[in-house]
Amino acid sequence: MTAPATNNLPTLLITVMGRDRPGVTAAMFGALSGFAVEVLDVEQVVVRGRLILAILVTAPREVAKLSTAAKSTAATLGMDLEIARGEGDNNPRREGRAHVTVLGHPLVPKAVAAITGRVADTGANIDRIIRMARYPVTAIEFHVSGTDLHGLRAVLAREAVEQRVDVAVQNVGLLRHGRRLLVMDVDSTLVQGEAIDMLATRAGVGGQVAAITAAAMRGELDFEAALRQRVALLAGLDVAVLGEVYGEMRLAPGARTLVRTLKRLGYRLAIVSGSFTQLTDRLARDLDIDYAQANELEVVDGRLTGRIVGPIVDRAGKAEALRSFAADSSVTMDRTIAIGDGAN
C-alpha cells in the first residue's frame, strides 16, 4: 500500500488554545466534519489545565467557511484559535531515532538546557517532548531523530554526571515495548539500609559486624568469608527478630511506584540479594515480585544457628539467578536490566 503524496497539497494548521475542559476536541472536530477535509495529523497537550490542540487537515475549497465555523466553535468554548495556511504534511522524521529520558529530583532548567543542548550539538532534532512522571522524581522523554544512538548515549552520559540527573537513551522500535526482566538488589537499593546491620544491632554485635564489613570493603575479606563471619555473630538470635526487622525495613523512595508501574507495563520482576530469604521472600510477596533469591539463615528450635543453608548468593550467584529467571520468563539477555549499588 503506497502512502498518499501530500507534500504539495494545500493544508491548514488549526491551533486551539485555552482552558481545558471535556468536549473541546469533539467540538472542534465536529465543526470540521461538515467540510471535505482529511485529517493528516493531530497533537494535543494539557499543562496545568491549559490545552493546546493542533490539527493539520487538507484545505477545502471553502476555506473561508471552514475558518468561520472553526472560529465560531472556538469562541463558544472560550478558546483562542489560529489557522495557518501552508503546503504538505509534516516533514518526515530522519533516520536514527531515539527516545531520551531525563530524570531529576528536582529537575531544574539548567539540566534540561544542557541535555537538549548536547542533543542539538550532535545535529539531532527533538520532535516531541512528554512528561513521563512527576513523583517521586520528574521524568521527561524527548523523541529525537537524526542521531547516532551510541554517540548520543556517550555524550549524554557525560552531561548527566555534570548535571546530576539520570539519562537513558533507547532505540525506537517495537522491541522497546516487548517483555523485559528487571532484576534488583535489595539492601540499599530496593530498601534503605542493610538487613545484616539491623539484625546485628538486635543481637548486640553491631560494632563487630561493622568491623567485618569495613575489612571486606578494604579487600581483606571476600564477600563469602565476610558474610559467613557476620552471620556467625547472629547465633542464638530469636527467629521472631526477623519479623521485627522486616517491619522496620523502609522501601527506597519511588520503589513501590516503580514496581507497580513496571508490572502494569508487563515487566517480569526479580530480587536477588546477599540478604536473607526470611526477609526477601516476604518482600517479594508484598510487592508482587515474580522471583526472589537470597541466602537462607539456618534456624533450629526457633533460633538462628549462625550458619547459612546452601551455597552463598554472591556476585556469581546473582548473575546465574538473572540468567535462570530470564530463561524462565522467555526473555533474552539483551532485554534484561540489573540494578544494584555495588560490585556484588
Predicted local confidence at residue 2, as pLDDT = 46
**199 vs 202: CA distance, rounded Å:** 5
- Residue 265: pLDDT band (50, 70, 90) is confident
Is residue 5 a part of any domain in this protein?
A: no
Question: In percent, how much of the chain has pLDDT > 70?
Answer: 94
Distance CA(289)–CA(181), nearest Å, equals 11
Which one, of 323, 306, 219, 327, lies nearest residue 272 by Cα?
323
User: Of 198, 119, 199, which is closest to residue 155 (Cα–Cα)?
Assistant: 119
CATH number at residue 257: 3.40.50.1000
Query: Are 114 and 259 members of one domain?
Result: no
Residue listed under C-alpha cell 557525560 = 158
Q: Are residues 244 and 322 in the same domain?
A: yes
Nine-digit cell at 324?
Answer: 535462570
How large is the average pLDDT for residues 296-316?
95
Q: Kindly state whether residue 73 falls inside one of the protein's structural domains.
A: yes
In tens, the pLDDT along 189-234 reads: 999 999 999 999 999 999 999 999 888 888 888 999 999 999 999 9
Q: Does position 175 have pLDDT exceeding 60, yes or no?
A: no
Among 127, 185, 286, 314, which one carries the catalytic annotation? 185
38: cell is: 482529511
Mean of the per-residue pLDDT values of the chain: 90
Say if residue 168 is in the same domain as residue 245.
Answer: no
Whether 3 maps to a domain, the answer reads: no
In this structure, are 243 and 139 located in the same domain?
A: no
Catalytic residue among 89, 127, 187, 328: 187
294 touches 313 (CB < 8 A): yes
Q: Give the CATH number for residue 37.
A: 3.30.70.260
pLDDT at res. 179: 76
User: Quick one: 192 and 283 in the same domain?
Assistant: yes
Same-domain pairing of 77 and 102: no
* Judgement on whether residues 239 and 313 belong to the same structural domain of the protein: yes
Q: Name the residue with cell 530470564.
A: 326
Total of domains in the chain? 3
Which pLDDT band, with edges at 50, 70 and 90, does 249 fall under?
very high
Whether the predicted pLDDT of 93 surpasses 70:
no
**187 catalytic, yes or no?**
yes
Same-domain status, 216 and 328: yes
- Do residues 77 and 126 both lie within one domain? no
Domain assignment present for 206: yes
Residue 4 belongs to some domain of the structure: no
End position of a domain, from candidates 173, 201, 225: 173
Partner residues linked to 56 by β-bridges? 13, 41
- Does the pLDDT at position 123 exceed 50? yes
Specify whether 80 is catalytic. Answer: no
- C-alpha cell recorded at residue 50: 491549559
Residue-range definition of the domain harbouring residue 20: 10-87
Q: Can you give the pLDDT at residue 1?
A: 44
Domain stop point among 64, 87, 110: 87
- Residue 86 C-alpha cell reads as 501552508
Residues 18 and 145 in one domain: no
Residue 1, domain member (yes or no): no
Domain stop point among 63, 87, 111 = 87
Residues 254 and 152 in one domain: no
Contact 169, 153 (CB under 8 A): yes
- 195: in domain: yes
Taken in order 327, 333, 335, 341, is the CA torsion positive or negative? Answer: positive
Q: DSSP assignment of 220-271, as one string?
A: SS-HHHHHHHHHHTTTT-BTHHHHHHHHH-EEPTTHHHHHHHHHHTT-EEEE
CA–CA dist 106, 256 (Å, integer):
19
Residues 65 and 147 placed together within one structural domain of the fold: no
**Per-residue confidence (pLDDT) for residue 76, from 0 to 100:** 95
Tell me, yes or no, whether 188 lies in a domain.
yes
